[in-house]
Chains A and B, each alone.
Chain A
Amino acid sequence: MSAALDTTTEARAHRAVSLETIGMTKRFGSLTALEDVSIKVEAGTVHALLGENGAGKSTLVKCIMGFYQPTSGTVLVDDHEVGIRNPRDAHAHGIGMVYQHFTLVPSLTAAENLVISRAHPPAVIDWRKEMRGLDEFLSRMPFKVPLDVPVSSLSAGEKQKLEILKQLYLDQHFLILDEPTSVLTPGEADEVLGLLRGMTRTGDLTILMITHKFREVTEYTDAFTVLRRGKMAGAGKVGAVSVDEMSKMMIGDATIREGAARTPMHDQPVVFEVAGLFADGDEGLPAVEAVNLKVHAGEIVGVAGVSGNGQSELVEVLSGQRDASDGRLFIHNKPFVPNRDHMDRYKVFGLQEEPLRNAAVPRMTVGENISFRIFDKPPITTLGWWLSPGPMRARARELIASYRVKTPSTEELMENLSGGNVQRAVLARELSSQVDVLIVANPCFGLDFASVAEIRAQIMEQRNRGAAVLLFSEDLDEILELADTIAVMSGGRIDYVVPAAEADRTSIGRAMAGH
Chain B
Amino acid sequence: MEADSNLTIVLLAMLAGAIRVSTPFLFVSLGECLTEKSGRINLGLEGTLVFGAMTAYAISYHSGSPWLGVLVAGFAGSLFGALHGYICKLPRVNDIAIGIALMLFGTGLAFFLGKAYIQPQAPRLPSIQLGGWSDNAQVQSALQINPLFLVGIALAVFLWWAFRNTRWGLIVRMTGDSAPAALAMGYSVNWVRFTATTVGGFCAGVGGAFLSLYYPGSWSEGLSSGQGLMAVALVIFARWNPLACFGAALLFGAAGALGPALQSIGVTQGYYFFNAAPYVLTLLIMIASTSPKRSLKGAPGELSITK
A87 CA to B182 CA, complexed, in Å:
13
Question: Which residues of chain A come closer than 8 Å to B185, judged between CB atoms?
Answer: 116-117
Give the A-B contact count at a CB cut-off of 8 A. Answer: 66
CB distance from A478 to the nearest CB of B (A): 29
The stretch of A107-115, A229-237, A387-395, A494-502 in contact with B is A107-115
1/0 contact trace for B276-304 toward A, CB 8 Å?
00000000000000010111011011000
The stretch of A122-130, A186-194, A352-360 in contact with B is A122-130
A435 CA to B84 CA, complexed, in Å:
53
Contact B300 A107 (CB under 8 A): yes
Contact A88 B170 (CB under 8 A): no
Question: Which residues of chain A come closer than 8 Å to B36, judged between CB atoms?
Answer: none
Judge whether A448 is part of the interface by a CB distance below 8 angstroms: no
Contact A103 B184 (CB under 8 A): yes
Which of these, B171, B174, B295, contacts A282 with CB under 8 Å? Answer: B295
Which of these, B178, B184, B294, contacts A106 with CB under 8 Å? Answer: B178
Question: Which residues of chain B come closer than 8 Å to A281, judged between CB atoms?
Answer: 294
Q: For residues 179 through 211 of chain B, which have their beta carbon under 8 Å from a beta carbon of chain A?
A: 180-182, 184-186
Question: Which residues of chain B come closer than 8 Å to A106, judged between CB atoms?
Answer: 177-178, 301
Contact A108 B184 (CB under 8 A): no
Contact B177 A87 (CB under 8 A): no
Judge whether A284 is part of the interface by a CB distance below 8 angstroms: yes
A99 nearest CB neighbor, chain B only: B184
Contact A104 B170 (CB under 8 A): no
Contact B164 A107 (CB under 8 A): no
A283 CA to B293 CA, complexed, in Å:
8
Contact A125 B293 (CB under 8 A): no
CB distance from B8 to the nearest CB of A (A): 41
Judge whether B158 is part of the interface by a CB distance below 8 angstroms: no
Which of these, B164, B165, B166, B178, contacts A105 with CB under 8 Å? Answer: B178
Judge whether B173 is part of the interface by a CB distance below 8 angstroms: yes
Which of these, A86, A99, A124, A323, contacts B293 with CB under 8 Å? Answer: A323
A123 CA to B164 CA, complexed, in Å:
11
How many residues belonging to B are interface residues under a CB distance threshold of 8 Å? Answer: 25
B164 nearest CB neighbor, chain A only: A112
Judge whether B168 is part of the interface by a CB distance below 8 angstroms: yes
A104 CA to B165 CA, complexed, in Å:
18
Judge whether B92 is part of the interface by a CB distance below 8 angstroms: no
Question: Which residues of chain A come closer than 8 Å to B171, judged between CB atoms?
Answer: 116
Contact B181 A105 (CB under 8 A): yes
Question: Which residues of chain A come closer than 8 Å to B178, judged between CB atoms?
Answer: 103-106
Judge whether A171 is part of the interface by a CB distance below 8 angstroms: no
Question: Which residues of chain A come closer than 8 Å to B307, judged between CB atoms?
Answer: none
Question: Which residues of chain A come closer than 8 Å to B182, judged between CB atoms?
Answer: 105
Contact B166 A123 (CB under 8 A): yes
Contact B291 A284 (CB under 8 A): yes
Judge whether A252 is part of the interface by a CB distance below 8 angstroms: no
Question: Which residues of chain B come closer than 8 Å to A116, judged between CB atoms?
Answer: 167, 170-171, 174, 185
Question: Which residues of chain B come closer than 8 Å to A123, judged between CB atoms?
Answer: 166-168
Contact A121 B294 (CB under 8 A): no
Contact A124 B173 (CB under 8 A): no
Contact B166 A283 (CB under 8 A): no
Contact B184 A87 (CB under 8 A): yes
Contact A87 B297 (CB under 8 A): no
Contact B294 A125 (CB under 8 A): no
Measuring CB to CB, which residues of chain A are less than 8 angstroms from any residue of chain B? 86-88, 99, 101, 103-108, 112, 115-117, 121-125, 127, 280-284, 323
10 CB contacts below 8 A, A to B, read A88-B186, A101-B180, A106-B301, A107-B301, A108-B177, A125-B165, A125-B167, A127-B165, A284-B291, A323-B293
Measuring CB to CB, which residues of chain B are less than 8 angstroms from any residue of chain A? 164-168, 170-171, 173-174, 177-178, 180-182, 184-186, 291, 293-295, 297-298, 300-301
